[in-house]
Amino acid sequence: MCGESLLSELSLLTPPRIAEYAVYHNKIDKLLLTNELIDPNEQVKVELWNYDPLLFSKDNKTIDIISLVISLFETEDERIEIVLEQLLEKI
């Protein structure tokens, strides 16, 4: 789990409509991916990372906090920025 999906698990933010997951780009068949949203209840957003997202994970299910903050760094949503600052303060 990554992005706003994970952020909503760690805070009071509402989860996004489409769940977000990260995967190491060498571990997935890119031919199976599509940019077309057909059914948000069945589909997920997949972020392709240059390294294994679980490399620094504590629970082997979600990305680490630093990677989460970096992945959402350029977000212009004030709610997300506030939660990211709170997470960094805890570290």
DSSP state of 25: G
**pLDDT for residue 2:** 94
DSSP 3-state of 40: coil
Cβ neighbours of 82 (radius 10 Å): 12
Residues making up the chain, counted from first to last: 91
Kindly tell me if the per-residue pLDDT of 29 is higher than 90: no
**pLDDT for residue 40:** 77
Query: What pTM was computed for the model?
Result: 0.84
**pLDDT for residue 39:** 84
Residue-wise pLDDT for 30-88, tens only, equals: 888 888 888 878 889 999 999 999 999 999 888 999 999 999 989 999 999 999 999 99
**pLDDT for residue 42:** 85
Centroid of chain to Cα 84: 13
Smallest CA-to-CA distance from 65 within 48, 83, 77 is with 83
DSSP 3-state of 28: coil
Q: What torsion, rounded to 10 degrees, do the Cα atoms 90, 51, 79, 14 define? A: -100
